[in-house]
Amino acid sequence: MKKHVIIVAGGKGLRMGGDIPKQFLPIGGKPVLMRTIEAFYSYDPSIHIILVLPLAQQAYWKHLCETYHFVLSHDIADGGETRFHSVKNGLALVGGEGLVGVHDGVRPFVSRQVIARCYDTARQRHAVIPVIDVVETVRHLTGVGSETVPRNNYKLVQTPQVFDVQLLKGMTVRFDYYVSNTDNLLVDFDLSGSTGFNTFKENLGEVQNRGFDATINWRVYENTKNDAYVTLFGSVSSNKNEIKKISDALSKSNDEQIDDEGNPLSTKPYTRFEEGQSTSAIWAVRSLGIDPASGEEMFIDRNGYRTYVWNVNDQVVCGEANPKFQGNFGFNAEWRGLAVNCSFAYKAGGEYYNQTLVDRVENVDVQWNVDRRVFTGTWKEPGDRTFFKRVESTPTQTYPTSRFVEKSNELSLSSLNVSYDFKRLNVKRYVERLKIAFYMTDVFRVSTVKAERGLEYPFARTCSFSLQATF
């Protein structure tokens, strides 16, 4: 079983005098903290050591390690405002299952026997706290005086305090909010193959990203007798980007997306770079739908007037491709060797420009095989109320319009893993270990955007079986 230890060292040395933090004071020609780490390394050289230090002390610690040629492997976590936050930061570096101890960095004289007993007992009891007897006289203040209390009723708590990793984590919640400003952001632009280069770099300018990430992990049930547990997990994140400043060259590139007649070079919405807008904004002309009288599409120009003429200058932001929220959730469960791991993924609050409908229904040449909706869903005579405009005998073009901007909300069962470990059965006479497993990805998907051939994202469902045998 994997062993970890979180050594918390955040003292300022005030009780010991001087300005040097107490964990750095020398004992026997070596800093206290190094002696503490050596104590756990002496117990088990393979133990994962996590040192929690205030950020302001980490550079000094690195200097001490170089000075004293201290090379014992250890990870460093940032100290928090309180001991609770420091332990939490250290626990974030503990992965998987196993045992984790929490120890004070200024207690270097803990014996190898005590460490071993704590970890050995925690393997069976899942939680161990070492204590010692109270030898001093203890008095209880009553308000009007004091009274002596029986020392046998009290114990002094020591370290290391050792726990099963999952028990200590129990429920972990993490929330991060960020504001990131990027200057001189470089992006790739496509070039004609005749130039000898595929892309060139252009300075975008300044972009600000704001958002948050939140995760939760909660073990709701555990039964050691049956090797059973249930753990729930989930996450949610949100990110919004905004262009604060663009270069003159990039501003000019917006105009280069238009031909001499004022029409876009492509019927797909193209990326426009505008200060104050997102890099993933969907630009299109606002639509009022199809006129039942004529079968032509009605638009709203920038001044708010109705028009039948699509104009590139009337394009506004009609959607945001980046979802407002996305994340995952699921559970891990095990009972008597049978394990089930299930993970769902979701995204919500974004938009999607359905170019597939444009290409398959309206931007078609009726002389060739076409989608049946060309004949069943388009406008044909006055009075028809349809979603699709009339289709001419000669190919016409439908340029970016809000009519094809759809809400994009999605839920999928991204992975499912079912396995059985024969560890509780008497199979060791034949094999050391035997385990079978079934794994499947993209089990199902539901979306507000209708899945049909031609959409950009493929649905690649996979499944596999495995048999693991150790002789």
pLDDT value for 14? 41
Domains of the chain with CATH codes: 3-169 (3.90.550.10)
pLDDT value for 189? 56
pLDDT value for 117? 95
Residue 17 pLDDT exceeds 60: no
Which of 138-152, 178-192, 271-285, 435-449 shows the lowest mean pLDDT across its residues?
A: 178-192
Which of 214-218, 391-395, 447-451 shows the lowest mean pLDDT across its residues?
A: 391-395
pLDDT value for 16? 40
Residue 187 pLDDT grade (very low, low, confident, very high; cuts 50, 70, 90): low
pLDDT value for 469? 78
Distance CA 280, CA 401 (A): 16
Q: If you average pLDDT over every residue of the chain, what do you get? A: 85
pLDDT value for 75? 94
* Range from 259-273, 331-345, 390-404 that averages highest in pLDDT: 331-345
Name the one residue in this structure whose structure tokens are 């060292």.
Answer: 9
pLDDT value for 396? 75
The predicted-structure confidence for 42-94, as pLDDT tens digits, reads as follows 999 999 999 999 988 999 999 999 999 999 999 999 888 778 788 888 888 88
Residue 457 pLDDT exceeds 70: no
- Greater pLDDT, 264 or 65: 65
- Greater pLDDT, 31 or 432: 31
Distance CA 36, CA 49 (A): 11
The predicted-structure confidence for 354-371, as pLDDT tens digits, reads as follows 998 898 899 888 888 888
Residue 15 pLDDT exceeds 50: no
Residue 99 pLDDT exceeds 90: yes
Distance CA 106, CA 271 (A): 58
- Greater pLDDT, 13 or 81: 81
pLDDT value for 428? 60
Three-state SS annotation for the chain? CCEEEEEECCCCCHHHCCCCCHHHCEECCEEHHHHHHHHHHHHCCCCEEEEEECHHHHHHHHHHHHHCCCCCCCEEEECCCCHHHHHHHHHCCCCCCCEEEEEECCCCCCCHHHHHHHHHHHHHHCEECCEEECCCCCEEECCCCEEECCHHHCEEECCCEEEEHHHHHCEEEEEEEEEEEEEEEEEEEECCHHHCCCEEEEEEEEEEEEEEEEEEEEEEEEEHHHCEEEEEEEEEEEEEEEEEEECHHHHHHHHCCECCCCCECCCCCCCCCCCCCCCCEEEEEEEEEECCCCCCEEEECCCCCEECCCCHHHCEEEEECCCCEEEEEEEEEEECCEEEEEEEEEEEEEEEECHHHHHHHHCCCCCCCCCCHHHHCECCCCCCCCCECCCCCCCCCCCCEHHHEEEEEEEEEEEEEEEEEHHHCCCCCCCCEEEEEEEEEEEEEEECCCCCCCCCCCCCCEEEEEEEEEC
Which of 217-221, 299-303, 320-324 shows the lowest mean pLDDT across its residues?
A: 217-221
pLDDT exceeding 70 applies to what percent of the chain?
86
Tokens linked to 394: 């000669």
- Greater pLDDT, 216 or 285: 285
Residue 225 pLDDT exceeds 90: no
The predicted-structure confidence for 302-345, as pLDDT tens digits, reads as follows 999 999 999 988 999 999 999 999 999 999 898 988 999 999 99
- Greater pLDDT, 259 or 370: 370
